[in-house]
Amino acid sequence: MLRWVWMLGGLIVWALHFMGVYGIASLADVVSRADDPPWRMAGLAFSAACVLAALVLAGSAARSLRRRRDPSARFGDQLAVLGAGVATLAIVWQALPTVIGY
Amino acid sequence: MKSETGFDPALYDRFPTAGERPEGELEALEEVWCGPKGWQWITAINNNFVGVYYVGAAMLFFVLAGVLAVLMRTQLAVPMSGFLPQETYNQFFTVHGTTMMFLFAVPAVEALGVLLLPQMLGARDLPFPRLSAYAFWAYLIGGLAFFASLFFGLAPNGGWFMYPPLTSTAWSPGINADFWLLGIGFIEISAIAGAIEIIVGVLRTRAPGMTLDKLPIFAWAMLIFAGMIIIAFPSIILSTLLLELERALGWPFFDPLKGGDPLLWQHLFWFFGHPEVYIIFLPAAGAMSTIIPAMARTPLVGYRLVVLAMLATGFISFGVWAHHMFTTGMPTISTSFFSAASMAVSLPAGVQVFAWIATIAAGRMRFSTPGLFVVGGLVIFVMGGLTGVMVAMVPFDWQAHDSYFIVAHLHYVLIGGMVFPMFAAIYYWLPMTSSRPLSERLGKWVFWLMFAGMHLTFLPMHLTGLMGMPRRVYTYLPDRGWEWPNLISTLGSFLFAAAVLIWIIDMIRNFRPFGGRDAGNVFDGPGLEWLPTGLYSVRSIPVVKSLYPLWDQKGLARDVEAGRYFLPNTATGERETIVTSTLNAEPQYLQRMPRPSAWHVWAAVFTAAFFLLLTVKAYWPAAISGVLGVYCILQWCWFLDRPLEQVAVDIGAGVTVPTYAAGPSSHGWWAMIVTLVVAGMVLLLTGFSYVFLWSRNPADWAPPPGILSMAWAVAGNAAAALLAWLACRSLRLARPRAAVLAAVMMVAAAGLVVGAWWIDLDAWRATGLRPEANAQGATVYAFLSWQGLFAAVVALMGPYALLRWLAGHARADRPATYDLIALFIVFSAGQGVFATLLTRLFPGG
């Protein structure tokens, strides 16, 4: 199970990110207004933390990939690197509405 | 290669074995896996039969829903037509959409999995063949009953997404909406049963050596598809349950006058509904990624990237549900997030499309019928994807929402992304199950008529939508410029129908399943499914060393056929398959497979009867059916978990594996975990519903009951979980009184779960809060009802555990049943604690 979490780590961070930013916006909408700057900044900070997590995962997976020779183990690492890379880009993309248009 | 389980991979070098196999071995295998005779066709469980039944039923529903589409298009051919009355039209478009989505698309791809996966993975069958058969019969009976409601004017008429308040009792007072809610909710249970089978099958019954980097792309797609069903479908089960509770008992989840909110339905529905599109698309994409390399005679370009793209699609599909709700007045920042996520979906889809184009370019593509269908599907899907990016943009969506533009977009995506690949799959894989392939000449007619008909029907709808024609209108006024596009669309639908008619004729002429032989590998496919097979699947289970074993492992078919690999015989005299590890597919144990029996069929009949009788409000007959259904399921379970006399057997070349497993290495444990994930998702979404409805009217929520009852309920559940765990530990001790102690502890654990539930229920009743009073009452009692359902199941499991002990089936060497019961009890207890704490502490009082 741990190996699966490792392979899908980047994608899991990505999923947590979109649930998190929706959650923060929804909470803000209950407390005040979702578009208020402090809440948007809270969302942005969360996005930054997720980007950092995805980058750390990508780096760890890349190091692991360099060490391994067995093709089936390398496959898992390759998925982990690619997934974390995609997640990094996707999180940045999805965070852009927080800073653009206001 | 580093071992995952302690199995020595060097043992693979013993295969293929040399020398002749003993006489009578093949005959014994054929005898054990013999086909059904007479009425046994109904009780058959072998995937070679159930898979064909399943695909056939799905295509039947495709044709039925297609007939409705043609009738609707006839009505819309000219303005102010009186061909169909308004109410009939409303029922037709609702049943058309519902049937296509729930009775054709999802079951069709699931059916394809049931049919193909065992052969593709090198297994004798999927690990729970009776579950597949149960899922099929439940789906067929429920689906036919749902469709038949049209003939009595009782069909639902609120559109395939059934938005309240239109579908609440005020606006839909009859039982039409109930047919949808109970019928579809029930059919989704069958989809989940199939998904459990597929997940465990792909993870645990792969041929030895089939590591994840050698897993066929279709199997990857089916694994992700089934995982998505497990996460998404609980949402539709919960939403249908809540709406039915509101309609039947007046619990106001969606009634704003009592603190409910119709938007809750939209959130729950689309949390299922949008992933549903990818649930349909991914297996079809997996089929495309399998068929294109075979037709182009070259490996798939970017296998790893395609796997990643499918995984990414699976993940992101759960982050875009609210793009169906852009017009509901959500905050700007929220719509922007959903818009960005929706545009991002095009990236993983684009990776797959470019991989297909690159594969076609790299190889020598054959444009026989499957080749035509994959390329045609690719073109149509890309067109639908481009309009998808358009509607992901909020300002455009505001203009196009609920217009014919959306009808055009969704049909391009679904027909290109699922229907064409499905036809490609039928033409490509049919020679595997039929003694004759389908006709190439007729197939080309089918393709070109369908391709032309599809564009003629749906391309003009972009225009009618942009010209302002709303969807779901049964007629329109003249002189709005909509006449010609509508007439062309109708003519196109006739062409499409003609294509389907020719395909049916082709099937009648050439489809010859269940015979002793098949047409063979006519397209030179590279996967294990093209090995020579019988009803036992492959004669011997090969060691897989390549992603394309038939292309790369020379002489494989000959050696497999000669029995020179794993399990060339029936090692125990029973039906059996090898269970392997999840990552490296190392042999772990031999699973005894069930033989056909009628219990799962009766269980499906009575479960379907229970739901259908509830729909027509025949409560007593429904209750009797429910009891009979439970009895059949208990009978079915009673014969499980019976170890063989042989503790370990030789599965070929001196490789010995055990014949029994319990705990995390067993297939049953995995199935229970997946089942509990489904239940956990329902719980989480109920929690979401609770918090969401609170956020609508926080001031109206009453204080919860006192803290003492909460403490008792939590303590009771915690004690139940502890006892259940101790029961399993006790059973494994192999001491004289360990088994009876385990049975008693299991009964006590069950009693504690029921007791804790009762304490919680009683405390809430004492506050005077009633479920029909307001949204708080409705959601609190929804939690209690859900936990009550689990308490009822646990109340059955406790005595069942005791009975197993009395019958001598609870022993240290056979703990699997107790493990699974304990898992269920621990989950139920945890669920009870979660519900109690959430409803007592949030928002508190």
Of B417-426, B430-439, B708-717, B826-835, give the lowest mean pLDDT range.
B430-439
The predicted pLDDT at position B384 comes to: 96
Nearest CA in chain B to A8: B311
Is pLDDT above 90 for A72?
no
The predicted pLDDT at position B295 comes to: 97
Contact (CB<8Å) A34/B332: yes
Is the Cβ of A6 closer than 8 Å to some Cβ of chain B?
no
Mutation pick from B5, B7, B220, B308 vs chain A, by most beta carbons of A within 10 Å, is: B308
**Nearest in space to B641 (alpha carbons), one of B799, B804, B796, B823:** B804
Contact (CB<8Å) B213/A22: no
Query: What are the chain A neighbours of B214 within 8 Å (beta carbons)?
Result: 72
Residue pair B431/B469 in contact by the 8 Å Cβ criterion: no
Which helix or strand (DSSP H or E) is residue A87 part of?
Answer: helix A71-99
Supply φ then ψ for residue B778, to 5 degrees.
-60, -45
Say how far apart CA B2 and CA A97 lie, in whole Å: 46
Query: What are the chain B neighbours of A26 within 8 Å (beta carbons)?
Result: 334, 695
The predicted pLDDT at position B140 comes to: 94
Residues linked to residue B590 through DSSP beta bridges, in sequence order: B578
As a whole number, mean pLDDT of residues B255-276 equals: 95
Place of tokens 């010609």: B484
The predicted pLDDT at position A102 comes to: 63
As a whole number, mean pLDDT of residues B499-511 equals: 97
| Percentage of residues of chain B with pLDDT beyond 90 | 90
Longest dimension (CA), chain A: 54
Query: What are the chain A neighbours of B334 within 8 Å (beta carbons)?
Result: 22, 25-26, 29, 34
Contact (CB<8Å) B695/A30: yes
Is pLDDT above 90 for B478?
yes
Of B19-28, B437-446, B619-628, B798-807, give the lowest mean pLDDT range.
B19-28
Nearest CA in chain B to A41: B333
**Nearest in space to B217 (alpha carbons), one of B304, B297, B112, B276:** B304
3-state secondary structure of B579: strand
Q: Strand B576-580 relative to strand B537-538: parallel, antiparallel, unpaired?
A: unpaired
Band (B845; pLDDT cuts 50, 70, 90)? low
Mutation pick from A13, A18, A29, A35 vs chain B, by most beta carbons of B within 10 Å, is: A18
Query: What is the residue type of B552?
Result: D
Is pLDDT above 70 for B96?
yes
The predicted pLDDT at position B515 comes to: 77
Nearest CA in chain B to A17: B319
Is pLDDT above 70 for B423?
yes
Band (B1; pLDDT cuts 50, 70, 90)? low
As a whole number, mean pLDDT of residues B651-656 equals: 94
Supply φ then ψ for residue B209, to 5 degrees.
90, -10
Contact (CB<8Å) A93/B344: yes
Band (A71; pLDDT cuts 50, 70, 90)? confident
Query: Buried (b) or exposed (e) across B139-161, using 16+ Cβ within 10 A?
Result: bbbbbebbbebbeeebbbbbbbb
Supply φ then ψ for residue B117, to 5 degrees.
-60, -45
The shortest C-alpha distance from A102 to chain B (Å) reads: 10
Residue pair B218/B285 in contact by the 8 Å Cβ criterion: no
Residue pair B211/B585 in contact by the 8 Å Cβ criterion: yes
Is the Cβ of B390 closer than 8 Å to some Cβ of chain A?
no
Q: Strand B656-658 relative to strand B648-650: parallel, antiparallel, unpaired?
A: antiparallel
Is the Cβ of B308 closer than 8 Å to some Cβ of chain A?
yes
How many beta-carbon pairs below 8 A join chains A and B?
A: 100
Is the Cβ of B213 closer than 8 Å to some Cβ of chain A?
yes
Is the Cβ of A92 closer than 8 Å to some Cβ of chain B?
no
Residues B550-590 pLDDT 10s: 999 999 999 999 999 999 999 999 999 999 999 999 999 99
User: B789 CB contacts (<8 Å, ≥6 apart)?
Assistant: none
Is pLDDT above 90 for A32?
no
Band (A101; pLDDT cuts 50, 70, 90)? low
As a whole number, mean pLDDT of residues A64-71 equals: 88
3-state secondary structure of B83: coil
User: B454 CB contacts (<8 Å, ≥6 apart)?
Assistant: B380, B411, B415, B492, B496
Query: What are the chain B neighbours of A18 within 8 Å (beta carbons)?
Result: 316, 319, 337, 341
Which helix or strand (DSSP H or E) is residue B580 part of?
Answer: strand B576-580
The shortest C-alpha distance from A11 to chain B (Å) reads: 7
The shortest C-alpha distance from B180 to chain A (Å) reads: 30
Band (B736; pLDDT cuts 50, 70, 90)? confident
Is pLDDT above 90 for B187?
no
User: B607 CB contacts (<8 Å, ≥6 apart)?
Assistant: B138, B186, B189, B625, B626, B629
Is the Cβ of A36 closer than 8 Å to some Cβ of chain B?
no
Residues B760-777 pLDDT 10s: 999 999 999 999 999 999
Is the Cβ of A35 closer than 8 Å to some Cβ of chain B?
yes
Is the Cβ of B311 closer than 8 Å to some Cβ of chain A?
yes
Place of tokens 């289970």: B541
Is the Cβ of B344 closer than 8 Å to some Cβ of chain A?
yes
Which token pair is B576? Answer: 């059996």
**Nearest in space to B183 (alpha carbons), one of B141, B223, B222, B211:** B141
3-state secondary structure of B455: helix
**Nearest in space to B147 (alpha carbons), one of B198, B183, B188, B171:** B183
3-state secondary structure of B503: helix
Is the Cβ of A21 closer than 8 Å to some Cβ of chain B?
yes
Contact (CB<8Å) B307/A19: no
As a whole number, mean pLDDT of residues B42-70 equals: 96
3-state secondary structure of B590: strand
Is the Cβ of B698 closer than 8 Å to some Cβ of chain A?
yes
Which long-range contacts does B358-365 make (Cβ < 8 Å, 24+ apart)? B358/B301, B358/B302, B359/B292, B359/B293, B359/B296, B359/B298, B359/B299, B359/B300, B359/B301, B360/B292, B360/B296, B362/B296, B362/B298, B362/B301, B363/B293, B363/B295, B363/B296, B363/B297, B363/B298, B364/B296, B364/B297, B364/B298, B365/B295, B365/B296
Roughly how many angstroms between the first and final C-alpha of chain B, as a whole number? 59
Give the burial class of B554: count Cβ atoms within 10 A of its Cβ; 0-12 exposed, 13-18 middle, 19 or more buried: exposed
Which helix or strand (DSSP H or E) is residue A55 part of?
Answer: helix A37-67
Contact (CB<8Å) A72/B212: yes
pTM above 0.90, yes or no: yes
Contact (CB<8Å) A79/B2: no
Which among A15, A94, A98 has the least Cβ separation from residue B318? A15
Is pLDDT above 90 for B159?
yes
Which among A22, A72, A90 has the least Cβ separation from residue B334? A22
Query: What are the chain B neighbours of A78 within 8 Å (beta carbons)?
Result: 304
Cβ atoms within 10 Å, residue A89: 14
The predicted pLDDT at position B270 comes to: 96
Contact (CB<8Å) A72/B1: yes
| CATH class given for the domain over B695-841 | mainly alpha
The shortest C-alpha distance from A66 to chain B (Å) reads: 16
Which helix or strand (DSSP H or E) is residue B395 part of?
Answer: helix B394-400
Radius of gyration for chain A, computed over Cα atoms and rounded to the nearest angstrom = 16
Is pLDDT above 90 for B755?
yes
Contact (CB<8Å) A11/B213: no
User: B296 CB contacts (<8 Å, ≥6 apart)?
Assistant: B359, B360, B362, B363, B364, B365, B366
- Between residues 314 and 333 of chain B, which touch chain A (CB distance below 8 Å)? 315-316, 318-319, 322, 331-333
Residues A75-89 pLDDT 10s: 999 999 999 999 999
Q: Chain centroid to CA B375: how far? A: 27
As a whole number, mean pLDDT of residues B634-655 equals: 90
- For B267-292, the DSSP string reads HHHHHHHHHHHHHHHHHHHHHHHHHH
- Between residues 98 and 157 of chain B, which touch chain A (CB distance below 8 Å)? none
Is the Cβ of A73 closer than 8 Å to some Cβ of chain B?
yes
- What 3 state SS string does B703-763 have? CCCCHHHHHHHHHHHHHHHHHHHHHHHHHCCCCCCHHHHHHHHHHHHHHHHHHHHHHHHHH
Is pLDDT above 90 for B184?
no
Band (B609; pLDDT cuts 50, 70, 90)? very high
Is the Cβ of B711 closer than 8 Å to some Cβ of chain A?
no
The shortest C-alpha distance from A45 to chain B (Å) reads: 15
Which among B311, B333, B582 has the least Cβ separation from residue A34? B333
Band (A70; pLDDT cuts 50, 70, 90)? confident
Is pLDDT above 90 for B659?
yes
Of A30-44, B91-105, B370-384, B481-495, give the lowest mean pLDDT range.
A30-44
As a whole number, mean pLDDT of residues B474-493 equals: 96
Say how far apart CA B214 and CA B236 lie, in whole Å: 34
Say how far apart CA B832 and CA B714 lie, in whole Å: 8
Is pLDDT above 90 for B406?
yes
Query: Domain residue spans in chain B?
Result: 45-510, 695-841
**Nearest in space to B417 (alpha carbons), one of B231, B286, B602:** B286
Mutation pick from A14, A86, A88 vs chain B, by most beta carbons of B within 10 Å, is: A86
Place of tokens 């009425």: B39
Is the Cβ of A56 closer than 8 Å to some Cβ of chain B?
no
Radius of gyration for chain B, computed over Cα atoms and rounded to the nearest angstrom = 27
The predicted pLDDT at position B758 comes to: 98
B664 secondary structure, DSSP code: G
- To 5 degrees, how large is the angle CA B622–CA B627–CA B633? 125
Residue B278, CA atoms < 13 Å, CB-side half-sphere: 33
Residues B780-838 pLDDT 10s: 999 999 999 999 999 999 999 999 999 999 989 889 999 999 999 999 999 999 999 99
Residue pair B183/B615 in contact by the 8 Å Cβ criterion: yes
Considering chain B, what is the average pLDDT of its residues? 95
Is pLDDT above 90 for A2?
no
The shortest C-alpha distance from B705 to chain A (Å) reads: 25
The predicted pLDDT at position A1 comes to: 78
The predicted pLDDT at position B419 comes to: 98
Mutation pick from A22, A40, A65 vs chain B, by most beta carbons of B within 10 Å, is: A22
Q: Chain centroid to CA B407: how far? A: 25
| CATH class given for the domain over B45-510 | mainly alpha
Query: What are the chain B neighbours of A74 within 8 Å (beta carbons)?
Result: 213
Is the Cβ of A83 closer than 8 Å to some Cβ of chain B?
yes
| Percentage of residues of chain A with pLDDT beyond 70 | 98
